[in-house]
Amino acid sequence: MPMRHVTLRQLRVFEAVARHRSFSRAADELHLTQPAVSMQVKSLEEQAGVPLFEQIGKKIFLTEAGEELYARAHAVARELDAAEEALDAMRGLEHGRLTIGIVSTGKYFAPQLLGRFLKSHPGVTLKLSVNNREVMLRELAGNEVDLAITGRPPEDLDVVAVPFARHPHVMVAATDHPLARTKRVPLARIAEEPFLMREQGSGTRGLLERLFAEHGLPLRVGMEMPSNETIKQAAMAGMGVSFLSLHTIALELETRRLAVLDVAGLPIVRDWYVVHLGGKRLSPLAEALKRFLVEEAAKHLCGQEVPRKRRPSAQGERL
């Protein structure tokens, strides 16, 4: 059967599977069952006349033909998204859809903020993509998200980045840790402790590594974990100390399950940024959400705000 009979639905499904390298994750994204996704891909392979995927163990890979088709299917998917955004813009701010990329630390406060935005825009649908910094930046570079929320804008990508709230980072440990009762602990003393670390690609890990490198201190990695929740549980169990965003531990501090260590030179306070590609023409809806974050976010952010020292510009910072 000629490829001209390929449907947009098949291309959408194939593009999602190829992007995630996973049938199950594609099914979740598209709100389909996994058998339905497999059926669409199988039908597309029959029309192509060549395999598009190959499976080795539990992992799937694109064949050479799959790579070729994916480049074109990805472009088609982006054009369809752009068309939908244009139509949403014509309908105004009461209806529409936005895809928001969020670094994993942001999941502790972003839903709260976005929920406030949706109360005044009840016809809007938001799709959240939560990943570590490395994956989120790939999505941003690939124009897979309309806006991104991150603690540090990329330096090697043309983006507009607007700070919207302060972002403190602290050292934490179990409440019965000996250093929890010590004042002004030198950073060199903390360096003697085993650290509970996020995986490579995490923005929080990168910030900690830069801090220790600036002071010429070795970083003793006790355990490496893929989520802040696992790190918090390990810290509460007395397995080591960790360096976390203050916004991730509000509940643990309130219930006194974790303690913030009084370390000289801390907290390190950065900004949260809302970011988009420099050449991207934002829809009115995306502009409205960006404006909401800049003007309202700091008022509601977890009750753990450090006072702002400056007001971000309306246009943001081109990086």
| pLDDT tens column, 79-113 | 887 777 666 665 555 678 899 999 999 998 899 89
Residues 118 and 156 in one domain: yes
Identify the domain boundary among 251, 269, 287. 269
pTM score, whole prediction? 0.64
Residues 75 and 95 in one domain: no
Instruction: Choose among 167, 168, 172: nearest CA to 197.
Output: 172
Please give the pLDDT value at position 318: 55
Residues 70 and 197 in one domain: no
- Give 135's Cβ-side CA count (13 Å radius): 13
Residues 145 and 290 in one domain: yes
- Domain of 220, CATH number, reads 3.40.190.10
Identify the domain boundary among 31, 46, 79. 79
Residue 286 identity:
A
Q: What are phi and psi of 292, to 5 degrees?
A: -60, -45
- pLDDT tens-digit series, residues 32-56: 899 999 999 999 998 888 999 998 8
Instruction: Choose among 298, 182, 295: nearest CA to 247.
Output: 298
Domain encompassing residue 38: 3-79
Report how many domains make up the chain: 3
Residues 159 and 115 in one domain: yes
- The region of weakest confidence among 24-33, 144-153, 161-170 is 24-33
Is residue 306 pLDDT above 50, yes or no?
no
Identify the domain boundary among 41, 59, 79. 79
Residues 162 and 278 in one domain: yes
Instruction: Choose among 165, 162, 167, 166: nearest CA to 313.
Output: 162
Q: Token pair 């003007």 is at which residue?
A: 295
- Domain of 73, CATH number, reads 1.10.10.10
Residues 209 and 254 in one domain: yes
Torsion of the alpha carbons at 21, 26, 28 and 29, rounded to the nearest 10: 120
CA angle 135, 19, 140 (to 5 degrees): 40
- pLDDT tens-digit series, residues 200-230: 888 899 999 999 999 999 999 999 998 899 9
Ramachandran quadrant class, 220 (left: phi over 0; alpha: psi -120 to 50; beta: rest): beta
